[in-house]
Amino acid sequence: MITPADIENKEFSRAKKGYNEEEVDEFLDLIILDMEKLLRENRQLKAELGKAHVQVDKHMSTETSVYETLEAAKSLMNDIAASAERRAEILLKNAELEASLITREAKESISRYTEEGNRLKERVETLRERYKKMLEAELERMDFGGSDFLADFEKDFLPASLTEADEVTQVVAPEVQEYQPQPQQPQDLTKTMVNIR
C-alpha cells in the first residue's frame, strides 16, 4: 500500500515536454493531506469497529447468558409447578385418608353405641319384666293369703309387743291406762303396684 511518505519521496524522471513540476508537487501535497486524513479516519474507524466487535461479543455473551438464565428459570418454574402439584396430590390423598379414617371410626362408634344401647334396652326390658312378675307374684301371694297373712302377722308380733308394753306400763306408770290396740284394716296392696309400662 502506498503511504503519504511514498508519495512525498517519489521522484519522477524528467522529460522534454513534461508537466509543470510545481503543479505536480502541489497536487501531490493535496493528495498526501487527503491520504493522511483518510488513513487517520481508517485507523479511527478500525478502532471503533474493534470496540463495536467487543461490545457485540459482550452483548452476544450477555444475550446467551440471558437466554440461558431464562431457560433455567423456565425449567425451575416447571420443576416448582410439578413439585407443587405432587405436594397438592399428597396433601389431598392424606386428607382423604384422614377423612376416611374419621368416617370409619365414627361409623364404628355409632355401631358400638347402637349395640350397647340395644343391649341396655334389652336389660331394662328384662328388668321391667322381672320386676313386673315379682310384683304380680307378690300381689297373688297377698291375694291368696289375704287377711290370714295379716292375722298371722298380728298373732306373731303384736301379742309379744303388747305383753312387753303392759309390763313396762305397770312398772313405769301404773296410772297410765292400758294400751288397747285398734284393729287394723288390711291395706289394698293393688294400689301400691307401680305401673311399669
What is the structure's pLDDT at 179? 46
Flag whether 181 is in a domain.
Answer: no
- Is 180 part of a structural domain of the chain? no
The arithmetic mean of pLDDT across residues 147-161, rounded, is 60
Lowest-confidence region among 11-20, 66-75, 99-108? 11-20
Q: Does residue 23 fall inside a structural domain?
A: yes
Residue 69 falls inside a structural domain: yes
Residue 131 has pLDDT above 50, yes or no: yes
The number of domains in the chain is 1
Residue 24 lies in a domain: yes
Asked if residue 140 is part of any domain, the answer here is yes
Domain range holding 78? 4-10+19-167
Which residues 6+ apart lie within 8 Å of 189 measured at CB? 138, 139, 142
How much of the chain exceeds pLDDT 70, in percent? 70
Q: According to the model, what pLDDT value does residue 194 have?
A: 46
DSSP 8-class letter at 175: T
pLDDT digits (tens, 9 = 90+) for 101-129: 999 999 999 999 999 999 999 999 999 99
Q: Residue 28: pLDDT above 90?
A: no
Cα dist. 80→67, 73, 83, 181 in Å? 20, 10, 5, 104
Q: Does residue 183 form part of some domain?
A: no
The contacts of residue 39 (CB under 8 Å, 6+ apart) are 3, 4
